Amino acid sequence: MAEEPEEDEIGTGEETKAERVVSNKLGVVIHFFLSALAVLLLIAAAIAAFDTVVREFPALWQRQDEYTVLQKIIENILLIAIAAEFALLLLFHRMSAAVEVVVFVIARKTVSPSITALDLLLCAAAIAGLIILRHYYLPGKTT
């Protein structure tokens, strides 16, 4: 059999007790910080959702350009969805949540009135690619 390398050679020696304690405490602090950021992000998303419902939806029934108002509502809803998915990503560090954030960002880009046909085609291809990636290559349930 092949000779096992010494621990000093490969640098995978066991942690000292002090290193484990610092690592655990630092991990807890980082997790708490990310959790607090996620809660703040969800609070901001809830406020934005309420504001969208209260201010933007009634504008659909007024004598204005309904298309512009609807476009703004969709942009706001997608921004709120991005915030919620990003909060989920901060809490659970799942790759599927990262993919969903990117899908929402691309979807929000497609709503812009200044988008060109090439941009729209590239956005659609990117969303299709991300959905395929999520369905076939990411573990866990995707439905």
Structure token digits, residue 59: 């504008």
Smallest Cα–Cα separation from 85: which of 106, 109, 102?
102
Q: What is the pLDDT of residue 38?
A: 93
Residue 52 neighbours by CB under 8 Å, 6+ apart: 73, 76, 77, 80
Smallest Cα–Cα separation from 83: which of 139, 21, 39?
39
Q: What is the pLDDT of residue 25?
A: 86
Q: What is the pLDDT of residue 119?
A: 92
Q: What is the pLDDT of residue 14?
A: 79
Per-residue pLDDT of 92-129, as tens digits, reads 888 888 888 898 999 988 988 888 999 999 999 999 99
Per-residue pLDDT of 4-46, as tens digits, reads 555 555 556 677 887 787 788 888 888 899 999 999 999 999 9
Per-residue pLDDT of 49-95, as tens digits, reads 999 999 988 888 887 788 888 888 999 999 999 999 999 888 888 88
Full-prediction pTM beyond 0.85?
Answer: no
Taken as a whole, the chain contains a residue count of 143
